[in-house]
Amino acid sequence: MDLPDIKGRYGAFGGRYVPETLVPALDRLQAGIERYLHDADFQAEFINELRTWVGRPTALSHAPTLSKRWGADVYLKREDLAHTGAHKINNAVGQTLLAKRLGAKRIIAETGAGQHGVASAAAAARLGMPCVVYMGAVDVERQAPNVDRMKLLGATVVPVTGGDKTLRAAIDEALRDWVSDPDGTYYSLGSAVGPHPYPYLVRELQSVIGREAREQLLASSGRLPDVVVACVGGGSNAIGLFHAFLSDLAVKLLGVEAGGRGAGLGDNAASLTFGTPGVLQGSYTLILQDTFGQVRETHSVSAGLDYSGVGPEHAYLMKTGRVAYESATDSETLDALAECAKYEGILPAIESAHAFFGARRFARKNPGAQILIGCSGRGDKDMPILQHTLLREMR
Choose, from 49, 79, 110, 351, the residue flagged as catalytic. 110
Number of residues that bind ligand PLP (CB under 6 A): 19
CB under 6 A: which stretch of 233-241, 286-294, 356-364, 385-393 binds ligand PLP?
Answer: 233-241
Considering only residues 116 to 155 of the shown chain, the ones binding ligand PLP according to CB under 6 A are none
Nearest residue (beta carbon) to ligand PLP: 377
Sequence-distant contacts of 211-215: CB under 8 A, at least 24 apart? 211/244, 212/56, 212/57, 212/58, 212/60, 212/77, 213/60, 213/77, 213/241, 213/244, 213/372, 213/374, 214/244, 214/245
Considering only residues 245 to 274 of the shown chain, the ones binding ligand PLP according to CB under 6 A are none
CB under 6 A: which stretch of 134-142, 158-166, 213-221, 345-353 binds ligand PLP?
Answer: 345-353
100 is catalytic: no
Q: Where are the beta strands (DSSP E) in 18-128?
A: 60-62, 73-78, 106-111
Query: Is residue 92 a contact residue for ligand PLP (CB under 6 A)?
Result: no
> How do beta strands 9-10 and 13-14 pair?
antiparallel
CB nearer to ligand PLP: pick between 122 and 369: 122
Choose, from 77, 165, 376, 381, the residue flagged as catalytic. 376
Smallest separation (angstroms) from ligand PLP to the CB of 123: 15
Task: For 131-187, give the DSSP string.
Answer: EEEEEEHHHHHHTHHHHHHHHHTTPEEEEE-STTSSHHHHHHHHHHHHHH-TTTEEE
88 is catalytic: yes
221 is catalytic: no
Considering only residues 5 to 34 of the shown chain, the ones binding ligand PLP according to CB under 6 A are none
Q: Which DSSP symbol is given to 294?
A: P
Considering only residues 347 to 386 of the shown chain, the ones binding ligand PLP according to CB under 6 A are 349, 351-352, 376-377
**What is the chain's length?**
395
Smallest separation (angstroms) from ligand PLP to the CB of 388: 19
Angle between helices 144-152 and 115-126 (to 10 degrees): 10
Q: What does each C-alpha distance from 224 to 77, 221, 281 come to in angstroms?
A: 14, 8, 36
Question: x/- string (CB under 6 A) for ligand PLP, residues 188-217?
Answer: ---x--------------------------
Residue ranges that bind ligand PLP, judged by CB under 6 A? 86, 88, 115, 191, 231-238, 304-305, 349, 351-352, 376-377
